[in-house]
Amino acid sequence: MALRITNQIRRLRFDAREMTQADLAARVGVTRQTIMAIEAAKYSPSLELAFLIARAFDKPLDAVFQFET
Amino acid sequence: MNSEERNVWAALLSSLIVNPYFFYRIWIMFTDGTNIATDGMQLWARTIIWALPASILSTILLTILAGIVMGMVTGEKAALFRKDERDRLYQLWGLGVTMAATVAGFVSAICCLALGLSGVLAFTLVYLGCAIGDMAGNSLKLVLYRTR
């Protein structure tokens, strides 16, 4: 069974007045490349980072990240 | 490319410059019979002791140079030592590969001594394990940065 974590970061950035990856990275304390990797679902963030990203958009965690089987 | 990936490129390039030179020097020692001389071990050590500072110096210089070039090309002000959880994870995986190769070199050296071969050869295998481990670890990190 293939498990996959998807996310809505791109859409949420768009809704937040086209927040840039660099802006989001600065808010949560990671590099822009890490945000890029998370957005492309190539890297799954730690729980701590996932909560920080959700907080940056003022959304609950499951509105940002979804777990698909 | 983030600052950590750039630093890994610099470290890999440094290894590719420094290690072949020292392996060439060791090769000469094996071909001219220094390895079986009574003071062979001492001569080997006097050569290899310079590998550490040479490697550190070249890595520092290449890291600074890469930082300047990247800054000029991308215009991005990436901090030299900025690191996040993804960097730390890849660093850990790279370290695993480095450790495995280093241990393999050490075990090979023990086998070499058990077979009655020269101590210089055994120490060379330890150095080879470290060098290959370092390059393999850095290569894995670059693969992870590029594919994940």
Note whether A43 contacts B84, CB cutoff 8 Å: no
ipTM above 0.95, yes or no: no
- Which pLDDT score, from 0 to 100, does residue B29 have? 87
- CATH architecture under which domain A4-68 falls: Orthogonal Bundle (1.10)
- Which pLDDT score, from 0 to 100, does residue B40 have? 84
Mean pLDDT of B8-14: 93
Range 1-40 of B in CB contact (< 8 A) with A: 1-5
Per-residue pLDDT tens digits for B59-81: 999 988 988 888 888 776 655 45
For chain A, the structural domain boundaries read 4-68
Range 82-121 of B in CB contact (< 8 A) with A: 82, 84-87
- Residues from chain A that touch B80, judged by Cβ atoms under 8 A, are none
**Is B126 in contact with B98 (CB distance < 8 Å)?**
no
Mean pLDDT of A17-39: 91
- Which pLDDT score, from 0 to 100, does residue B30 have? 86
**Is B127 in contact with B52 (CB distance < 8 Å)?**
no
Q: Which residue of B has its CA nearest to A43?
A: B148
Per-residue pLDDT tens digits for B88-133: 999 999 999 999 999 999 999 999 999 999 889 999 999 999 999 9
**CB contact A26 to B (< 8 Å):** no
> The tokens of A27 are what?
């808010």
How far apart CA A60 and CA A49 sit, in angstroms, is 13
Note whether A33 contacts B148, CB cutoff 8 Å: no
Residue B147 exposed, middle or buried by CB count within 10 Å (0-12, 13-18, 19+): exposed
Residue A4 backbone phi and psi in degrees, to 5: -150, 135
